[in-house]
Amino acid sequence: MIESGLSRVRFPSERRGLVRTLSISALFIVVIVMPVFAENLTVNYVEGFVEQQTRTGWLEVYIGDELSIDSTIRVSENGFAEFSLGDLKITVKEDGVYQLSDLVGSSKKVNSWGLGNLVSTKIKTALTSTGSGQTAVMGVRGAAAEGGAEIEWIEAGGSAELLQEGLALLEKTRYSEALDVFNEGLSISYAEEEQLFLYYVGYTQSLDGQFALALNTLERVEVDPQSSYYSDLILLRGRMLIESLAFEEALEFFKTHTNRYPEGDLTQAVLLLSSYCYRGLDDTFQALQVLQRARDLNPDSALGIEAQRLMEEL
């Protein structure tokens, strides 16, 4: 080895050592930098018990925590969790052990179905055009216009004004203010009107992006076929169950209607939504069965045509 000033001549064996050193250093840099670009999910809502698997066991997670997309979580004690990844919401409503990456994939698949648009446009339009899609808003306004006994109970407590105020705020998309008004109405409501206000609290929460809270609220609303909100509740709660990947629970919920009413426009809409539950469960045969049933109820209707289109997709 010859040294001259600050220069140094390295023999081949020394250069190989230098290459190994640089390679190890580069690898170390990659290991350090990579996690910075890893996808993380934010915990938006937790109910029951939700844990993340670590090297030393299970660690409870809380609202605001950041979890790697590669994480494994456990939901127990009738748990309920909501995560967000950018604009995507991932909701887990059933106890079990899950890979977050799988949940993200399933949520993206369900999101691609565009159920919100399906319900708000095709289904609601079809039901309204046949006169079988009276909404909670229409029911309340109709009763108010008639001035009959139907709203005497709501006028006595001053709740009618709160209801109309909340509805007006909803039309202006001022969801936070509407939610305050509906909650105020709920706090002073009697037994008969409580369910209506409770529905509107859940509905407004869903519009305001409070998905988990909305679903929890809607599950407390009585499923009463005589109520003005009945069709809205069936469609909204059912859709949200599908979007929370609770496909089997959604099917059971839809059956509370179809078992009671085997025919009709709302039943046709519910069967359409049921097909998505079976698609989520990877049961193409059952999906086709309910779509055929939906189509056969009224092949020439808008929903019958939609059922045929979905059959051809599968």
> With 60 as the cut, is the pLDDT of residue 92 above it?
yes
Measured CA distances, 36 to 28, 31, 70, 121, 250 (Å): 14, 10, 14, 41, 38
Residue 27 is predicted with a pLDDT of 41
Residue ranges per structural domain of the chain: 3-36, 39-101, 115-313
Tracing tokens 């609770």 back to the chain, one arrives at: 246
> With 90 as the cut, is the pLDDT of residue 190 above it?
no
- How far apart CA 176 and CA 295 sit, in angstroms, is 40
> With 50 as the cut, is the pLDDT of residue 11 above it?
no
Task: State the CB neighbour count (10 A cutoff) for residue 16.
Answer: 11
Mean pLDDT lowest for which of 18-22, 170-174, 282-286, 288-292? 18-22
- How far apart CA 86 and CA 153 sit, in angstroms, is 45
- How far apart CA 23 and CA 297 sit, in angstroms, is 68
- Better-scored residue on pLDDT, 266 or 16: 266
- How far apart CA 124 and CA 137 sit, in angstroms, is 13
> With 80 as the cut, is the pLDDT of residue 255 above it?
yes
Residue 132 is predicted with a pLDDT of 60
Mean pLDDT lowest for which of 6-15, 170-179, 245-254? 6-15
Question: Per the confidence metrics, is the pTM higher than 0.85?
Answer: no
Residue 142 is predicted with a pLDDT of 38
Strand 66-68 versus strand 88-92 pairing type: unpaired
Q: Is 312 exposed, middle or buried (0-12, 13-18, 19+ CB in 10 A)?
A: exposed
Tracing tokens 């001549």 back to the chain, one arrives at: 9
* Residue 215 confidence class, pLDDT cut points 50, 70, 90: very high
> With 80 as the cut, is the pLDDT of residue 5 above it?
no
Rounded to the nearest integer, the mean pLDDT of the chain is 84
The alpha-helical segments, DSSP class H, found in the chain are 12-33, 100-112, 115-117, 124-130, 136-146, 152-156, 159-171, 175-187, 191-207, 211-218, 230-243, 247-258, 265-280, 284-297, 302-313
DSSP 35: G
Residue 133 is predicted with a pLDDT of 52
Measured CA distances, 24 to 20, 29, 40, 240, 247 (Å): 6, 9, 27, 50, 49
Mean pLDDT over 112-116 rounds to: 95
The top-scoring range by mean pLDDT among 9-13, 152-156, 306-310 is 306-310
> With 80 as the cut, is the pLDDT of residue 192 above it?
no
**Count of CA atoms in the C-beta half-sphere (13 A) of 33:** 6
Which tens digits make up the pLDDT trace of 121-160? Answer: 889 888 887 666 545 543 443 333 333 333 334 444 578 8
Mean pLDDT over 184-188 rounds to: 93
State the architecture of 115-313 in CATH terms.
Alpha Horseshoe (1.25)
Task: State the CB neighbour count (10 A cutoff) for residue 276.
Answer: 22
> With 80 as the cut, is the pLDDT of residue 306 above it?
yes
> With 80 as the cut, is the pLDDT of residue 106 above it?
yes
- How far apart CA 83 and CA 138 sit, in angstroms, is 34
Tracing tokens 């705020």 back to the chain, one arrives at: 169
* Residue 61 confidence class, pLDDT cut points 50, 70, 90: very high
